[in-house]
């Protein structure tokens, strides 16, 4: 059975005080209401990581993730945060290659492969994001592009290492737009990704890899999306900022 995950991506939102309040509300609601073995990851801004981790406490269900890390180990890189720093405050996962990083910070291919490597070397789970912009889907080249994104940043990994990675498929046109992919579109692309993984690593390995869907997931569409056989959970932006809605999304993931 693949691990089911619902991850919240706060992006650059919430003050410290608001973030603490949201975390406390979420911990209460999740502990009271969520059953099964779905895991929840709160991907919060760097300055909040240590505090949010303390607020989450010893929960076996909820953990905390970062939204990015440097490709470098350490040194003179002003403003950057190293994977080893995340490890040193016991953060177990990190989003890598989010489409906003690709779009606004020109992150791509080889650079993202380095970030994946350094995250893994520090024992972190990379949540590797891929997904096509609208014009690529309109040209019907979305499958080719997503296969390439997976290939260029992940296919150098060993079969053992790739099984430590979580993949998030997030069509760019669905992120923050309120326009979600249909369950069929999500399932189709997840199946394409899994087949691609199977082609490289074999079916058994591909079957173990968790693939999340992201892009305007909300309490209204989560049930249908999460019911798809190759959708193993969600990466949730806007709706993860509201405790009631995020908890309802987590409850939609039957695991
Ligand atoms: P959204 O963001 O849920 O607000 O569309 C998803 C993401 O960017 O991870």
Catalytic, 170? Answer: yes
Q: Where are the domains of the chain?
A: 5-251
Of 41, 101, 217, 242, which is best to mutate to test ligand 1, by the most ligand atoms within 8 angstroms of its C-beta? 217
Q: Phi and psi dihedrals of 60, rounded to 5?
A: -85, -15
Q: Of 104, 222, 227, 238, which is closest to residue 178 (Cα–Cα)?
A: 238
Active site residue 72: no
Tell me if 230 CB under 6 Å of ligand 1.
no
Q: Is 214 in the pocket of ligand 1 (CB under 6 A)?
A: yes
Residue ranges of alpha helices (H) inside the chain are 16-33, 49-56, 83-88, 99-105, 109-121, 134-138, 142-154, 159-162, 183-201, 203-208, 222-226, 243-252
Q: What is the pTM of this model?
A: 0.97
CATH of domain 5-251: 3.20.20.70
pLDDT computed for residue 108 by the predictor: 96
Q: Is the CB–ligand 1 distance for residue 168 below 6 Å?
A: no
Note down pLDDT in tens along the chain; length 255 residues.
899 999 999 999 999 999 999 999 999 999 999 999 999 999 999 999 999 999 999 888 999 999 999 999 999 999 999 999 999 999 999 999 999 999 999 999 999 999 999 999 999 999 999 999 999 999 999 999 999 999 999 999 999 999 999 999 999 999 888 788 899 999 999 999 999 999 999 999 999 999 999 999 999 999 999 999 999 999 999 999 999 999 999 999 987
With b for 16 or more beta-carbon neighbours within 10 A and e for fewer, the 97-109 pattern comes to bbbbbbeeeebee
């Amino acid at each position: 059975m693949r691990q089911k995950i619902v991850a919240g991506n706060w992006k650059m939102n919430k003050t410290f005080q608001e973030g603490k309040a949201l975390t406390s509300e979420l911990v209460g609601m999740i502990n009271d209401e969520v059953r099964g073995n779905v895991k929840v990851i709160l991907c919060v801004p760097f300055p909040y990581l240590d505090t949010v981790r303390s607020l989450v406490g010893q929960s076996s269900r909820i953990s905390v993730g970062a939204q990015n890390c440097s490709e470098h180990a350490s040194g003179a890189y002003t403003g950057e945060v190293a994977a080893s720093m995340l490890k040193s405050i016991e953060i177990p996962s990190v989003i890598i290659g989010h489409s906003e990083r690709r779009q606004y910070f020109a992150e791509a291919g080889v650079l993202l492969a380095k970030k994946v490597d350094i995250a893994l070397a520090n024992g972190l789970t990379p949540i590797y994001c891929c997904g096509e912009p609208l014009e690529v889907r309109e040209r019907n080249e979305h499958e080719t592009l997503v296969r390439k994104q997976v290939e260029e940043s992940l296919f150098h990994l060993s079969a053992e290492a790739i099984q430590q990675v979580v993949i998030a498929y997030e069509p760019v046109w669905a992120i923050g737009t309120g326009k979600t992919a249909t369950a069929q579109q999500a399932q189709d692309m997840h199946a394409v990704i899994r087949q691609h993984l199977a082609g490289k690593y074999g079916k058994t390995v591909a079957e173990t890899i968790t693939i999340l869907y992201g892009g305007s997931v909300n309490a209204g569409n989560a049930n249908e999306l999460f019911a798809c056989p190759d959708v193993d959970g969600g990466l949730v932006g806007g709706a993860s900022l509201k405790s009631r809605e995020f908890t309802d999304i987590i409850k939609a993931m039957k695991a």
